[in-house]
Each structure stands twice: as structure tokens, then as C-alpha cells.
Amino acid sequence: MSSHREAPEISKDPVADSTDVYAFVSPDKPDTVTLIANYIPLQGPAGGPNFYSFGDDVRYEIHVDNGGNGQDNITYAFHFQTRLSDPDTFLYNVGPILSLDSPNWNSRQFYNVTRIQHGKSTVIGENLPCPPCNIGPLSTPHYANLASEAVHEIADGIKVFAGQRAEGFYVDLGSIFDLANLRPFEELHAQYGMHVFASPAAGVNATAELNVHSIALQIPTSELLRPGQHGESDSAAVIGVWTTASRQQVTLWDDRRGENVNSGPFRQVSRLGNPLVNEVLIPLGSKDLWNSLPPADDKRFASYVAHPELAGLLPALYPGVFPNLEALVKAGTARADLEAILLTGIPSGIVTGFQNYTGPVQADMLRLNTAIKPSKKPNELGVIGGDLAGFPNGRRVFDDVVTIELRAIAGVTVPLVDPAYKPDTAAGLVTDGLTAKSVPGGYLDHFPYLGVPHSGFSTPS
């Protein structure tokens, strides 16, 4: 998935597993930027009696680099606390939850938001309630209203939400991890030359009707930028965004208290910027290390972006379908296009009317040119679909990042740096067969944009 269960250690610790990061100019409020970090992957909606929640012992952070060095200039840190109204019942709720202060709701979660800038920490939101999980029509009969109550306006004109949302990322996991047996091109595994592109088989959305936990911020754009000109061609309009989760260094089980006791400094255990980087590009033996480091250290992993393993696998898995890509790989040509897209941003002059370049420091971050306004006719293929407001210019909740990155790895973006290169026909057609319409319930047109989570009663699992 985008980065669900992408590394060996974090796959054992879902409450700290960052799954997706989004950064985009808010379409309904274009003087703000929306940042979303999702955690706790693959939530079955009927996950009771201990329904999903953020970790009280995890420090969640969304980082913003406005200086182009792969280091955060602004960080928003989230700390959660779970409180039980009645520890002597096994129930999450003892009746319908009709408001965030309902006496029927037993297991509630609250959080503080801290802004860290220039080494100074300021609490900008305190004791904010999360909504409950979406249990079903008897327990949470008016869920959309509960979620709306959990959108809080805090300091500096910022909106914040933290709680369960419907999974908005769509991907055919079953085909991708079956040796890239993409359903639209399945027959090409066995028989070269069969033209299946005209009527591709539909993909199967492995994340349909699952939920995640989202931390979302809507921030005035001016709060995120360094001083300077902020036109579309100005580097000062570009920010880098990523999320992390950290745990304290020591965890011990206290027999007398019957709970874990944590101590020591916090250590980063999860990181996510661009989708699929750690999952698809970083090798298995380096994934846990990558998760522990800041983007500023990504030069040590740059060779995996410049020479992606999947680019060499595609010609082997689909014999004869990607001859030009195969020749590129055999020549040992470094993929400067992928390095630009994922590690530095795209400089001016490569894509007409577009840049999101942060400088020569190689760092995996979502790069958002905040001066590019939301598209009136969004295309889920983003920049390669002619929509400069979409991925890899930040990332919107509906962007088809799987298809975009598959096509980029297959060679569609090579002409950006080598106009003489001719991408294979299949490179511009490759897909897992899914679109934003594959997401049950769709998306919201307002903050926090991800849809109402699926209920356990309606979607048993």
C-alpha cells in the first residue's frame, strides 16, 4: 500500500505505522494548505470491543521544511491520552453516542497539539476530543455530525481533526505483490503480443471498506512559508512535508500495575513522505534504518531511486513489452527523472509552467508549490495528466499515486531529462486498474476531505 506495513519492524507496530501523507492547497479555502497524516493501517470496521485508537505512548509529528535542506523548520506534534469513564465495563459504549461528551461513551481519547519552530515549543491546541470510531447505527447513529464536532479551530487560524476516517488510498495489493501480475495486463505475463490495453480488466481495491486514523491540519499558507516572493516560479513558495512517529527508548512491563512503563528519549520508528518510496524502492535490509532517519540523510539511499529494482523487474515479468526500458536498465542509466520527482523536486523549465524544486539536497518529502491554485477540473493522474495541482506537486486524497509512480518507473517521465528517449507504449498505459471511483463512499469536498469511516455493523470484518 502507499506505505502500509512497508518495513519489517513497523509492520509489527501498526499504531505507529504511518500509511499515507497528503499535502495540498485546500480547494474550498485556497489561502490555506491542508496536511494529513494517516496511521494504523487496514482497520476492519468491526474491530471491537477494543476499537482502534491512536497510541498514548506514541509521539506523532507532521514536519514542514521551507528552507530546502531536508530538515524541519516547523513541526506539529500530537500527543494523545485515553480516558475511561467506567473501567469496570468491557464495553466501548453503554448506549448511543450522540455527542462528544456523551455519558454513554466509555473509552474517549483527547490530544494536545504543539507547534515547534526555531527551537521554541508552543501548545496551540489542548485537551481536544477525538470522535469515536464508527460502530454502527445504534451506537453512533449520526456519525457525520460527531465527526464535524471533532473539527476544532485552534490558534493562528488553524483547523485540526484527529480520528477515524475511511481509507482513501486505493490499490490492488493482490495483483501487485503477485509478481506485479496487474490485472489489465495479466495475459502479457504468459503471451507477449496480446493487446489487452483497449479493454483492461478491473482492479480489485484491497483497501475498500477499511478505515485508518487521520491527523489533519488546515493551516493559513502564510504560516508555512519563509519570507520572500511567493509566485509559482519562486522557490520560497515550495514546502516539503513528511510525517513521523516516535516511541520512547525503553519500554518495561510493570507486573504490579499491569501495564507498560516508558522512559528515555523519543526515537523515530516510522517516516513517510512520498508514497511507495520505502515500500517499493528501499531494499528489505535497509527499510527499518530508513524509517529511523530524517530526510536530510536520504543521500545514502539515493542509488535505489536512481536505479529502481522494479524498473529491471518489469521487462523480466513482461517479456518483450518494455524493450526501451530494458535497454535503459541494461545501460546502467541513472534515473535523473525519478531523482528529481522524489528527491529534489522538479526545477523550472522541465515541465512548462511548473516547478516544485527545493534545491540540491536529496530528501524524500512531498513537495508542494503553494502558489499553484487548485484545479477547476482535477485529474487524478496529477502532473502527468496535465493537472499541476496534483501529485507529485504535493498529493491530494484522490490522486492515483499507484498508476502515476508505476508509469514513472516504467519510463514515462524519462523524456523530462532525456528528450531523445522514447517510452514504451505500455509505459503510458500501465495501471493496477483502479481509479478514485474505486473508493466506496468517495471523498468529502471540505476539511478533513477523507470520507466518513465505514461502520462495523454495515461492514462486518
Cα–Cα dist 78/39, whole Å: 13
- Gyration radius of the chain over CA positions: 22
Name the DSSP class of 452: P
Host H or E run for residue 79: strand 74-84
Q: State residue 48's pLDDT score.
A: 87
Tens of pLDDT, residues 74-109? 999 999 999 999 999 999 999 999 999 999 999 999
Tens of pLDDT, residues 54-66? 999 999 999 999 9
Of the listed ranges 19-33, 114-128, 143-157, 246-260, the one predicted with least confidence: 246-260
Is the pLDDT score of 199 beyond 60? no
Is the pLDDT score of 1 beyond 90? no
Is the pLDDT score of 15 beyond 90? yes
Q: State residue 404's pLDDT score.
A: 97
**Which residues contact residue 232 at a Cβ distance below 8 angstroms, ignoring those fewer than 6 apart?**
353, 354, 355, 369, 371, 372
Tens of pLDDT, residues 207-231? 999 999 999 999 999 999 998 878 9
Q: State residue 55's pLDDT score.
A: 97
Is the pLDDT score of 189 beyond 90? no
Mean pLDDT of 144-158: 96
Amino acid at 332: G
Tens of pLDDT, residues 385-413? 999 999 999 999 999 999 999 999 999 99
Mean pLDDT of the chain: 92
Cα–Cα dist 375/393, whole Å: 12
Cα–Cα dist 378/389, whole Å: 8
Q: State residue 228's pLDDT score.
A: 81
Q: State residue 3's pLDDT score.
A: 61
Mean pLDDT of 416-431: 95
Q: State residue 196's pLDDT score.
A: 44
Is the pLDDT score of 53 beyond 60? yes
**Buried/exposed 238-266: b ≥16 CB within 10 Å, e otherwise:** bbbbbbbbbbbeeeeeeeeeeeeeeeeeb
Q: State residue 195's pLDDT score.
A: 46
**Closest residue by Cα to residue 390 from 421, 354, 361, 414:** 354
Estimate to the nearest angstrom the gap between the alpha carbon of 392 and the chain centroid: 12
Is the pLDDT score of 417 beyond 90? yes
Helix (H) and strand (E) counts in the chain: 8, 12
Mean pLDDT of 301-305: 97
Higher confidence at residue 447 or residue 48?
447
Q: State residue 194's pLDDT score.
A: 44
Is the pLDDT score of 111 beyond 70? yes
Cis link prior to 448 (omega < 30° from 0)?
yes
Work out the pLDDT band at 200, boundaries 50, 70, 90: low
Mean pLDDT of 413-436: 95
